[in-house]
Chains A and B, each alone.
Chain A
Amino acid sequence: MAITFALIGNQNCGKTTLFNQLTGSNQHVGNFPGVTVEKKEGYLRNHKEITIVDLPGMYSLSPYSPEEVVTRDYLIFSPPDVLINIVDATSLERNLYLTLQLMELDLPMVVALNMMDEVKASGGTIDIKLMSELLGVPIVPISASKNQGLDELMRVAMVVAGQKNRPATRDFCVGDVHRAVHSISYIIEEEAKAARVPVRFAAIKIVEGDEPMTRLLNLREMETDIIGHIIEDMEKRLHMDRDAALADMCYQYIEKICAQVVIKENETREQIRSVKIDSVLTNRVFALPLFFAIMLLIFWLTFRVIGAFFSDLLSYGINAFVSGADVVLTNMGINPTVHSLLIDGVFAGVGSVLSFLPIIVVLFLFLSLLEDSGYMARVAFVMDQILLKIGLSGRSFVPMLIGFGCSVPAIMATRTLPSQRDRKMTILLTPFMSCSAKLPIYALFTAVFFPQHKTLVMMALYLMGMIVAIVVAFLLKKTIFKGPTVPFVMELPVYRMPALKTVLLHMWQKAKDFLTKAFTIIFVATVLIWFLQSFDLHFNLVSDSSKSMLAAVGRLVAPIFAPLGFGDWRASTALITGLTAKEAVISTFAVLLGASNGLSLPQMMAHLFTPLTAFSFLTFTLLYMPCVAAMAATKRELGGSLAALGAMLFQTGVAWVVAFIIYQVGRIWFV
């Protein structure tokens, strides 16, 4: 018999740790149908018949974020067999607020009281038996990170699933709210049954003024009128509006329970330690310098030391493999075209992208350490003011920062943003942060055209990316993403040691994502480019790529770049191949300029560009649409090809305009 357990709890309650402990690596991440809200599922270890669903972390079932709406619909319309509510024992009151709301759903339910070890270590304790009696739900103390109590939790969940034990209805509504809920329950009973929602839950939501529920029940006008009067009456008696009245009542009930079950509540050792760490890390003077130091260290380790080492090792291996395959294919007498497709197209293309894998994995190792330790929330706290100025919130800072390394993980990291508006804006802006793959291009051009001012030009480019992002953000704020900025309210979790398992699983998932992409979309793209580069318009194989279809396409689009100062077909072709990976811009120049005929590549380049057009070209390279891998990530995160296409056109448009201005204004000074 197939059984589903759903995990639900506040953010930072240890839900993901529990999920990882229960399922190990038997998990897959998908989306809820029709929305980009993540749905993680997995099998209970050694129990294929038990599916565990990890629902998004949330503080209440009020329908104000897409995640909450999706979760609520999921719980009401395709209820799991057992709801496992994870409650953080170290901040019991706030966690129990969600518990009360979940109890109203009238589903079989178990409470997993997490972090009991931390409460006990601080000398406090919680009377679990009494709490279970008061709430009317079974409660199992666990420590997800130490893997304690999980067997017992699963045993109890199985019993609850078998007996379909619903929470004993503890009517925590009192006084005037109680009267309102009951009167409304009678009125909406039939509609609630027709809509298949628990009557009491529906009544409470109606008292709250919940719009989706009001729509769902489709009440008659007369009923709506009566309900309006009931609520008005309640508000008048309580001297409070409906929202405040309900929250107030729930918290009063929770405080009463906590007063009975919590024995000696101290700040835990972790909380005290956290305050101490924060006195340094979020110190008004040290916070910013420390943050930049940490980021520099991470980038240095990722792109210069660890990641670079493994990347070099991997590309060495890939090259060895490719030359090995080359020899084998040649010896086997394979058709030269197929040979070229495999070696120059597939192996070279996919191989060059694959060599990025170690950098991505290492970068994500550090990011997941930052995230799981609790530091990322502090970064958002420290940076919020800066980003508020461009219409975003502190949370958008992290993805943009990763963008200096690679846009792919950066765009993937926007998943953590709570608002769709912030997410879309961040995804659009992130590619303006100059990614590391563009560095070789800058290096070549500055060496040729600005030998005296290499560093200065490079810094100017990085700075320009940021300035363009800021200007674009301003424009977006005033046009497409109008309206008030999303409020920034965020829990700052206690610093905790990241769980090794969670970190490793996270790395594994990112690696898997990346590999999937490398072998699907990038594979197709490289084959396409190879094809365009190897055949002419009559589908004859060409030996000179200047006669290829790619060159024809290059010539076709070249006029577009003429006003930017580089109307040569080779420059536009390089920009096109640069879409597979930005490094390809350099290799394309090398091939197309025929660097072998006596002149070196830098000398040949000097014929093609002047310093001004070179700078204009670099500007365009910096800002135009990102590589295929980043576009694929954009498509996935924006949830559609059309949106991704819009983003690409937009970014390329911005690049064109900026390069145009630079070239045309520059011409006035340096004729």
Chain B
Amino acid sequence: MTLDQLCVGQQAKIVSVGGGGALRRRFLDMGLIPNTVVKVRKVAPLGDPIEIYLRGYELTLRLADARNIEITEI
């Protein structure tokens, strides 16, 4: 399962962060690493991007990029 499939209000644990280059590095730097618990807080009015909550802060990212983040239900 990937992060873009998570519904609003659902929690999950990150398994791996795919993709590459600067974006992947940014995700890792911002604490999206394996075993981190994330929760989807909101979806933008037009359905994309989404807002997630992790490590005490909120982050917004596009569904296309969320697709690179493998998660597992807790």
Contacts and interface: CB of A to CB of B under 8 A. Distances in A.
Nearest to A283: B45
A243 B60 contact: no
Residue with the highest number of chain A CB atoms closer than 10 Å, among B24, B30, B47: B30
Nearest to A274: B58
A592 interface: no
Contacts, number: 118
Contact of A489 (B34, B44, B46, B65): B65
Contacts of A244: 16-17, 28, 33-34
A585 interface: no
Contact of A93 (B41, B51, B55): B55
Interface string A491-502: 110000000000
A91 B61 contact: no
B26 A59 contact: yes
Contacts of A235: none
Contacts of B47: 385
Contacts of B46: 382, 385-386
Interface string A262-279: 000101000100010010
Contacts of A65: 22
Contact of B23 (A278, A489, A491): A489
A62 B25 contact: yes
Contacts of A91: 55-57
A287 B51 CA distance: 14
Nearest to B23: A487
Contacts of B49: 381, 384-385, 394, 488
Interface string A373-400: 0000100111011101000001000000
Interface residues of B, number: 34
A60 interface: yes
B24 A243 contact: yes
B5 to A, nearest CB: 18
Contacts of B6: none
Contacts of B23: 487, 489
A489 B60 contact: yes
B7 interface: no
Interface size class of A (residues with CB under 8 A): 35 or more
Nearest to A490: B60
Contacts of A275: 41
A90 interface: yes
A314 interface: no
A251 B33 contact: yes
* A contact face: mostly helix, strand, loop, or mixed: helix
Nearest to B61: A489
Interface string B26-58: 111111011010000111111111010001111
Nearest to A268: B56
A492 B59 CA distance: 6
Contacts of A97: 29-31
Interface in A303-334: none
Contact of B62 (A265, A278, A377, A388): A388
Given A282-B44, A382-B44, A247 B28 contact: yes
Contacts of B27: 489
A94 B57 contact: yes
Contacts of B45: 282-285, 287-288, 382
A248 interface: yes
Nearest to B26: A489
A65 B58 CA distance: 21
A487 B27 CA distance: 11
A163 to B, nearest CB: 31
B22 to A, nearest CB: 4
A64 interface: yes
B53 to A, nearest CB: 9
Interface string A218-262: 000000000000000000000000011001100100000000000
B49 to A, nearest CB: 5
A59 B36 CA distance: 18
B62 A487 contact: yes
A492 to B, nearest CB: 4
Given A59-B26, A247-B28, A247-B33, A491 B61 contact: no
A251 B17 CA distance: 15
Nearest to B43: A284
Interface of A: 59-60, 62, 64-65, 90-94, 97, 243-244, 247-248, 251, 265, 267, 271, 275, 278, 282-285, 287-288, 377, 380-382, 384-386, 388, 394, 487-492
Interface of B: 16-17, 22-31, 33-34, 36, 41-49, 51, 55-62, 65
18 contacts: A62-B25, A91-B55, A94-B31, A243-B25, A244-B17, A244-B28, A247-B28, A247-B33, A382-B45, A382-B46, A384-B44, A386-B46, A488-B65, A489-B23, A489-B27, A489-B30, A489-B61, A490-B60
Given A487-B61, A488-B60, 7 more contacts: A94-B31, A265-B56, A288-B45, A382-B46, A384-B44, A488-B65, A491-B30
Q: Sort A-B residue pairs by CB-CB distance and give the 10 closest, nearest first.
A: A247-B28, A60-B29, A385-B46, A64-B22, A492-B58, A91-B57, A91-B56, A93-B55, A487-B23, A287-B45
